[in-house]
Structure 1
């Protein structure tokens, strides 16, 4: 890990009671990995790339890659699509940048809903939207926070994934792109260029590696960057923000910010994207009194 980047290991609990989870992690808004939260799910034994291929092989799935955000695509618009069977074959062949992002596979294949149950951990989980994410070896999800400021239980299957998190308090150091939910995409958070992004030296975050069946709790508004160390997939269960201020931010993001950003991309094209990236550096350095 690059010198100067302060990333503490995310705490781990083998098992945890509802009361302890709420008191130790939800109320203070601290992340945790729960290693055996889902061992009673059928999915714990059954879910693999081969199983998903068998059950959902004919479904067309939206795919994203690691190309920089551009004015050619709307907010969260996929780059291409293919059948799930073909995509999993691609994952099996080796490294690929193609990922599935926020896909409601459980709605498309209702039989998969029998393989899991909503954990009773003291969160009011939104049962309508369990989402799945897939990635090939080496594929990355850029540093971002979620549009709805949800409390998230992120359950990983089939392989290993590295997760880097920053609490909302560290936003001032992360070169956040204005009118967006992301940090500058050209930042490598495993080996940052401190000459170009000096404020990152002050950022304090967390890191862990998720194995099959482990669950990462990410509190409201936490920044996260994921790297698939092997091909695999994850499920996110979401609970609405408990903090009213975060709820208001979520509503703003959903009903104003993303529509404004799509409008400006259409109006100004790549000039809008370039402007936002330049402003990310200017605003962050100014906020931290950095001159370059």
Structure 2
């Protein structure tokens, strides 16, 4: 029997206009597909992450299985594609907008809810809303990666203040002197791929008057994403790191990639969870026919 076509959409997460933020393909599955097919489709889309939503039967209609794939491999957690998946469900009317969505994922249970605008003045405002997703915080630890020559080779121009490691993501976190320095660095991806762990986060205090607390960028060539446009999971570590540095738990953050993206973060008092808010934009819809 031929497989049913699979509906999909492409959403720009952490953006308030198209072709900004971080794109994700969201695929709506009516039945399970094997991992080879999931990876082949993600490779075909060739966006930073493709995610798959499958309704969970014998449950209320706002619970879904959620998996994430880059064009090379499956990943354990992806913040921007989770936000994109939630936006797609709310935008399409597939879920009740007044009820929290639950995602059953390889990284445990995640939730998402819609936060509508306070003042609605036009029909277009109905699609202008924030999504809040609840993600695990990533504790930051001391790093034993102290090869200055390797760091200088991989991040030329970086004025390094501190080097840490994220416990969950296993990323190297490098604080530099300021947000301007974050934007100036020209990463050498072949050199970064030789570093231990998954990838490297660079971050610095935002410029005065910018409206942000810190800037960041994220490089992950091992997962086939040289520079992530806007990385939600990296901010689960950045929230923990800057909370200790700045003595606060609420942040406005800017990921200074070429596409750029804005995130609002809240770290709970137990340093266990991060509430991450952002906007999203629907870019295209279609069907996978195979």
TM-score interval, normalised by the smaller of the two chains: under 0.3
Higher strand share: 2
User: Of Structure 1 and Structure 2, which has the larger fraction of its residues in helix?
Assistant: 1
Instruction: Point out which structure has higher relative CO (alpha carbons under 8 A, 6+ apart).
Output: 1
Give the TM-score, by structure 2 length.
0.28
